[in-house]
Amino acid sequence: MKKTVRISFEGKSYDVEVEVLDSNVAVAAAPAPAAAPAPVAAPAPAAAPAVAGGTEVKSPLAGSVFKLKVKVGDKVEANQEVAIIEALKMENPVVAPCAGTVNSVSVKETDTVVDGQTLLTIA
């Protein structure tokens, strides 16, 4: 099902068409004509792989680590923003796929990452 939502960014409003994949996740389909694209939160992975030592949080795209919002030992909730990846001058939030405690952080701010690279683990 497609819906149109209004997003405000830096004092400007944009109408964005989104496709609802299920009741909890939406992904931007296309911006309204003549509107600049607005940042859209990356959806949490449907099922993050559980590995020895925790659940991996992976980069959803190639770019550079603009900001790490957690450190080892921090408690996080499911869908909490844990990092921001910058790509093509856009800030792309990375969210925790589950609740838990940050077990390890594999990158630092300014590191270049590839799509699917493990950023941190949550136990």
Q: Is the pLDDT of residue 103 over 60?
A: yes
Q: Is the pLDDT of residue 79 over 70?
A: yes
Regarding predicted confidence, which is higher, 21 or 108? 108
The domain 50-122 is classified under which CATH number: 3.40.50.2030, 2.60.120.10, 2.40.50.100, 3.40.50.740? Answer: 2.40.50.100
Average pLDDT over residues 16-44: 58
pLDDT, one tens digit per residue, over 49-77 is: 555 568 999 999 999 999 999 999 999 99
Q: Which residue spans of the chain are classified as CATH 2.40.50.100?
A: 50-122
The percentage of residues in the chain with a pLDDT greater than 90, rounded to a whole number, is 54
> Judging by DSSP bridges, how do beta strands 75-76 and 90-95 pair with one another?
unpaired
Q: Tell me 114's DSSP state.
A: -
Q: What is the pLDDT of residue 26?
A: 46
Q: What is the pLDDT of residue 13?
A: 75
Q: Is the pLDDT of residue 34 over 80?
A: no
| pLDDT interval class at 12 (50, 70, 90) | confident
Mean pLDDT of the chain, nearest integer: 80
Task: Give the predicted TM-score (pTM) of the model.
Answer: 0.59
Q: With helix as H, strand as E and coil as C, how does 35-77 read?
A: CCCCCCCCCCCCCCCEECCEEEEECCCCEEEEEECCCCCCEEC
Regarding predicted confidence, which is higher, 102 or 14? 102
